[in-house]
Amino acid sequence: MKVSELQLNSRLYPLQNNPVQTQKTTGNTQNDKAVKSFSEILNDKLSKASNLKFSAHAVRRLEERKVDMSAGSIDRLNEGLQQLNAKGAANSVILMDETAFVVSVKNRTVVTAVDKMNAGKTVFTNIDSVAIV
State residue 35's pLDDT score.
78
Cross-strand pairs, 12: 7
pLDDT in tens, the chain (133 residues): 555 444 444 455 555 555 555 445 555 544 445 777 777 776 666 555 557 899 999 999 999 888 888 888 999 999 999 999 999 999 999 999 989 999 999 999 999 999 888 777 788 899 999 999 9
State residue 16's pLDDT score.
54
Question: CA 122 from chain center: how many Å?
Answer: 20
State residue 14's pLDDT score.
56
Q: How far apart are CA 116 and CA 129, in angstroms?
A: 19
Cross-strand pairs, 22: 34
Length of the chain: 133
Contacts (Cβ under 8 Å, ≥6 apart) of 65: 113, 114, 115, 117, 118
Give CA separation, 131 vs 9, 24, 27, 91, in Å: 26, 42, 48, 11
Going from N- to C-terminal start, the domains of the chain cover: 3-132
Asked if 132 contacts 75 with a C-beta cutoff of 8 angstroms, the reply is no
